[in-house]
Chains A and B, each alone.
Chain A
Amino acid sequence: MPARILIVDDSPSVRRLLSLYLKGEDYELIEAVNGREAVRRCRKQRPDLVLSDIQMPEMDGYQLCRRLQQERQTRDIPVIFISARKDAADKVKGLELGAVDYITKPFDRGEVLARIRNQLKIRELTLALLEVNRDLRRKQKHLDEDLRAAGQIQKSLLPEGLPEIPELEFAWRFFPCEQVGGDVFNIHPLDENHVALFVLDVSGHGVPSAMVTVSVCQTLLPRTGSALKQPVADPPYYRIMSPSEVLSRLDGEYPFERFEKYFTMVYLVVNVRDGSVRYSRAGHPMPVVIRRRGGTELLEAGGPVIGVGGGLAFEEGRVTLAPGDRLFLFTDGITEYRHAKGETFGERRFFRELQHSRQSPLDAACQRVIRSMEVFGDGFRPQDDVTLLAMAYRGGDKR
């Protein structure tokens, strides 16, 4: 489609001369005799460029420029002034009003054509850029929506509300550092006496890591898979898998090559009758037990991260909780949290907070840790996903 150019001048001879100059070119020409008519034509015919005189009856070139600027549909039409005024001040005024160029009479055909060509080129590029920008914004919006949806799906993997197990109390905090994260945890009752807990942290974060968490969570569902409970021929017709068996199985199912990811994890099985806990950890920060009377114990037993498959065993450990004792599982998003000057929050600070709050309600103890991170970091902008899962043992006689 040829570019449409509007020529605005009250003098028929100037309009004729300009038309003559532009005739051999591939332009569609329209004309107006003053600013008022030019505004009307711009609204209706949307020229790609306006060539306008300055001094005209009814509405002059400056007013024309101002009017075009005021309306959204005409704002982007470039205006070139053609005038006998040679003063720099006049040119400056025109350019300030939004004109894109200025041609002084008497004009030369070559100059007029060159300036028109330049402005049309600029306009074409500008329109293309606007289109690309619109397209990018659209795509960005889609991505944002997808990420939000992914975040929702990931949240659905977390326990819904607090599980009702009379012997145990739970509380947690979970903050992915992006909309989706590489941390996940859950609590699964295995039978009336046993409850499984896990926290895992897939290397990296963002969408790829989040998708791995979804896959692992599926594998760890007690009802659909056999990773946590295995059917057997004799009553009670199932066997609860030991923590080291669960981790070994995951190590086999999630070799590093599969997703170019590894993960660290803690898995434990709590016997709610007697408070005994069997656990193993795969390269994960050690869970910590806070005794009711004040001791702090780290659960060390374990093996390497899941995915390297070096044939190393996942050693298993045991610990027994007395009523009032607490167990905290967490990811390194807490201990490795760094403030602006580079110091890390660290284990010592973290454990001290847990000790100080051991008489407070469990949820308040979790909140105290997050508060302390906020104060430490002067605001809370985690660089990594942050997960804290707390469990308190109430005793085996609660039914």
Chain B
Amino acid sequence: MQTEIVEKGDVTILRALEKRIDAGISGELKEQLGELVANGRRRIILDISGVEFLDSSGLGAIISGLKAIGEDGRLVICGATDPVKSMFRLTRMDRIFEMYDSEAESLQAFAQA
């Protein structure tokens, strides 16, 4: 799975550069999130603004990231496109995850906390 990692102070931005996150590549997303956490990153923004389709295994990968980061860390999702947003709404995961429209808003949220 194609991604890009950008560090902004102590916040790590993981940008997903795929249009679809499904069973084929969700395992890699899970690994990449797991690796960031294992390397001590505790403040992560997952940018999915380029993702048009996310299936249940993709959502599973993000949940496993949330679980890995634990209570003392923070995983924020940003840039969900409309179809992905509606998937989060349907599964009520929009209430579990902290979600913002842009990276700038996400960074601001981290700065305020």
- Cβ B60 vs Cβ A310 within 8 A: no
- Cβ A262 vs Cβ B60 within 8 A: yes
**What string of 1s and 0s marks CB contacts (under 8 Å) between B46-84 and chain A?**
000000000111011001101100000000000000000
Assess whether A101 is interfacial by the CB under 8 Å rule.
Answer: no
Inter-chain contacts of B63 with A (CB < 8 A):
256, 262, 305, 307-308
Minimal Cβ-Cβ distance residue in B for A202: B56
B68 CB → nearest A CB, Å: 10
**What string of 1s and 0s marks CB contacts (under 8 Å) between B86-99 and chain A?**
00001111011000
Q: Provided the pairs A201-B56, A256-B64, A261-B60 are in contact, do residues A305 and B93 lie with their beta carbons within 8 angstroms?
A: yes
Question: How far is B87's CA from A336's CA once the two chains are assembled, in angstroms?
Answer: 11
Minimal Cβ-Cβ distance residue in A for B92: A304
Minimal Cβ-Cβ distance residue in A for B93: A304
Assess whether A176 is interfacial by the CB under 8 Å rule.
Answer: no
Inter-chain contacts of A310 with B (CB < 8 A):
95-96
Q: Which of A261-312 contact B (CB under 8 A)?
A: 261-262, 264, 282-286, 302-305, 307-308, 310, 312
A-B contact count (CB 8 A): 56
- State the main secondary structure of chain A at its contact with B: loop
**What string of 1s and 0s marks CB contacts (under 8 Å) between A316-336 and chain B?**
000000000000000010001
Assess whether A257 is interfacial by the CB under 8 Å rule.
Answer: yes
- Cβ B64 vs Cβ A305 within 8 A: no
Question: How far is B91's CA from A201's CA once the two chains are assembled, in angstroms?
Answer: 12
- Cβ B64 vs Cβ A260 within 8 A: yes
A333 CB → nearest B CB, Å: 10
Q: Which of B5-40 contact A (CB under 8 A)?
A: 23
Minimal Cβ-Cβ distance residue in A for B83: A344
Minimal Cβ-Cβ distance residue in A for B23: A204
- Cβ B60 vs Cβ A203 within 8 A: yes
- Cβ A204 vs Cβ B56 within 8 A: yes
- Cβ B55 vs Cβ A304 within 8 A: no
Q: Provided the pairs A283-B92, A305-B93 are in contact, do residues A203 and B64 lie with their beta carbons within 8 angstroms?
A: no
- Cβ B64 vs Cβ A283 within 8 A: no
Question: How far is B96's CA from A310's CA once the two chains are assembled, in angstroms?
Answer: 6
Q: In the complex, which of the residues A205, A305, A384 contacts B91, with contact meaning CB atoms closer than 8 Å?
A: A305
- Cβ A264 vs Cβ B91 within 8 A: yes
Question: How far is B40's CA from A301's CA once the two chains are assembled, in angstroms?
Answer: 39
Q: Provided the pairs A203-B56, A204-B60, A262-B60 are in contact, do residues A305 and B92 lie with their beta carbons within 8 angstroms?
A: yes
Question: How far is B94's CA from A303's CA once the two chains are assembled, in angstroms?
Answer: 11
Question: How far is B91's CA from A312's CA once the two chains are assembled, in angstroms?
Answer: 12
Inter-chain contacts of A256 with B (CB < 8 A):
60, 63-64, 67
What are 5 inter-chain pairs, A to B, with CB distance below 8 A?
A204-B23, A204-B60, A264-B56, A305-B93, A384-B55
Q: Which residues of B contact A (CB under 8 A)?
A: 23, 55-57, 59-60, 63-64, 66-67, 90-93, 95-96
Among all A-B residue pairs, the 4 with the closest Cβ atoms: A283-B91, A304-B92, A203-B56, A203-B60
Q: Which residues of A contact B (CB under 8 A)?
A: 201, 203-205, 256-257, 260-262, 264, 282-286, 302-305, 307-308, 310, 312, 332, 336, 384
